[in-house]
Amino acid sequence: MFLSQVIDNTVRKLKAQTANALTILNLSLGSFAIINIIEGQLQLGAILIFFAALADRFDGMAARKLGIESELGKQLDSMCDIISFGVAPALLIYLGVINEFGAPAMFFTVFYIACGAFRLARFNIAENDGYFSGLPITAAGCFTTILFIAKSYIPSPVILFILIVLSFMMISNYRLKKV
């Protein structure tokens, strides 16, 4: 009887932390991406951003499947997303492609991060109606990372322009059905 209760409590606690552990994995991968980007390992940084996107996809899925969605998990996910899909891709695209534009590139790099933060904050206070308002930061971050990978085929002024467009798309009122 006692052992059964201990096991049940332990399983319940582990289950409750599964999604948060995946969210922290997202944060860790995004943080490692930033460190590698700063160290000049841009390709590794790009790969880590994509792995962070996988962890981000699975944390929400795990929370829904296990019935452990929480306000804490939602807030934690947003804080991690700003690192993995805001700061990391912005730093990657800045150092890898657009830094040649000087101050305007710095401004639009920070603008991208700010738009991502605004979008996440708006998402956290919005009612869940089955739609996203504005481009999700995960999609913007992955697209920005793809731009870095495609930099040999796309002129850097076009990449800067697309970064600006992605920034405005995140804060737009455009509605996208949740998948």
pLDDT at position 7, please? 75
Q: In the chain, which residues have pLDDT < 50? A: none
Q: What is the pLDDT of residues 46-64, one digit of tens each?
A: 999 999 999 999 998 888 8
Range of the domain at 39: 2-177
Helices (H), ranges, 39-70: 42-66
Give me the number of domains the chain comprises: 1
pLDDT at position 105, please? 98
The dihedral of CA 48, 56, 125, 164: what is its sign?
positive
pLDDT at position 6, please? 72
| DSSP assignment of 69-83 | --HHHHHHHHHHHII
The CATH code of the domain that includes 29 is: 1.20.120.1760
